[in-house]
Structure 1
Amino acid sequence: MNKQETYDYLDRAGIRYEVTDHPAVYNMAELEQVSLPYPDRDGKNLFVRDDKKKNFYLITVAGEKRVDLKEFRKVHGLRPLSFASPAQLMERMGLVPGAVTPLGLLQDEDKKITLYLDRFFAGGLIGVHPNDNTATIWLAAEDLVRVIEDHGNPVEWIDI
């Protein structure tokens, strides 16, 4: 699902969103160089897997937050976690590093990747890539959750 297909999907779902186009960014440091309308609402995404390479998770938190994977796994009762490989990212969500986004879950055919979403975003906007790192879209976090859950992926709100 490319950027335009993502916009079309959200339009069909009746989701309101705002688009900020920008040069390609591959990490949060590069994104800091981009002028964003809601810089404190941008999501940072960590695509991780368990030590058996069986279960995959997308952890989306506010951009300035750090995630201690050892602590995270303990709190959520998961097996040891590490970052998924670029090949696993492509296989599971059809994305390349730098374009990771909760909207990539719309390409998870097995609907098994769990989204853990920072409660910081509840009741407000979240900025995510539209399956392409040359834009950020801003939408209500609850709308993002609805789209992901309607697709069939589990979502859990978390405190980081």
Structure 2
Amino acid sequence: MHSDTLMQQLTHWGITPPLIEHPPLFTCDDADRLLISRPGTRLKNLFLRDNYGRRHALLLTRADKQVDLKALSRDIGWSRLGFASADRLQRYLGVEPGHVSVLALVNDSAQQVELWLDRELETGDDFHCHPLRNTATLLLSKTDLIRFTGQTGHSPQWLSVPSR
């Protein structure tokens, strides 16, 4: 799905968050360097796989959090979590590195990617999400996030994500 098509689909689902256009941002550090100030909760989006490449998850956490993948693997019972390759990212979520957000789950119609949300985000709102391109950010409310995941068939799992 293309970004424009995503925006139309969101509107169809009754989700109309504010859209902020900006220069390309590939990482959270890029946003820091550009001193882009936006209201809401900045996110780090990690596309992960198990040691065997059979299971995949999209983890959303605070932008400044250093996740302890070894401890998280142990906590959730997956064998050695690691970052999925750019090829896997394209195959499962239909986006390139630097364009990842929860909104990419719209491309996972086969439900092959689990959605994990850090419990630290439970009090957040207006989550920063790329709309399948890294030159814009949507401010997605928690209500709209839950509505979106319901429409895509992804049930978020709230986890206590360990940090390093």
Which amino acid in 2 is paired with 1:134? Answer: T
Q: Equivalent residue of 1:41, what SS?
A: coil
Q: Equivalent residue of 1:61, what SS?
A: strand
Q: Which runs of 5+ in 2 are unaligned?
A: none
Q: How far off is 1:46 after superposition? A: 0.4
Moved more, 63-72 or 140-149: 140-149
The whole-number CA distance in structure 2 between the counterparts of 1:150 and 1:19 is 20
| Number of residue equivalences | 159
Which amino acid in 2 is paired with 1:138? Answer: L
The one-character-per-residue Cα deviations of 1:8-42 (angstroms, maximum 9, x if unpaired) are 1111110131111101111111111142322x611
Corresponding residue number in structure 1 for 2:13: 13
Contact 1:22 1:34 in 2 (8 A): no
The whole-number CA distance in structure 2 between the counterparts of 1:139 and 1:50 is 28
Q: How far off is 1:120 after superposition? A: 3.0
TM superposition score normalised by structure 1: 0.92
The whole-number CA distance in structure 2 between the counterparts of 1:98 and 1:69 is 20
The whole-number CA distance in structure 2 between the counterparts of 1:65 and 1:137 is 21
The whole-number CA distance in structure 2 between the counterparts of 1:92 and 1:50 is 14
Correspondence 1:139-150 to 2 at 5 A: 139-150=140-151
Corresponding residue number in structure 2 for 1:125: 126
Corresponding residue number in structure 2 for 1:46: 46
The whole-number CA distance in structure 2 between the counterparts of 1:111 and 1:140 is 23
The whole-number CA distance in structure 1 between the counterparts of 2:78 and 2:60 is 17
Contact 2:92 2:112 in 1 (8 A): no
TM superposition score normalised by structure 2: 0.90
Corresponding residue number in structure 2 for 1:31: 31
The whole-number CA distance in structure 1 between the counterparts of 2:120 and 2:144 is 15
Q: Equivalent residue of 2:105, what SS?
A: helix
Q: Quick one: percent identity of the two aligned structures?
A: 30
Q: Which runs of 5+ in 1 are unaligned?
A: none
The one-character-per-residue Cα deviations of 1:76-95 (angstroms, maximum 9, x if unpaired) are 22221111000000011110
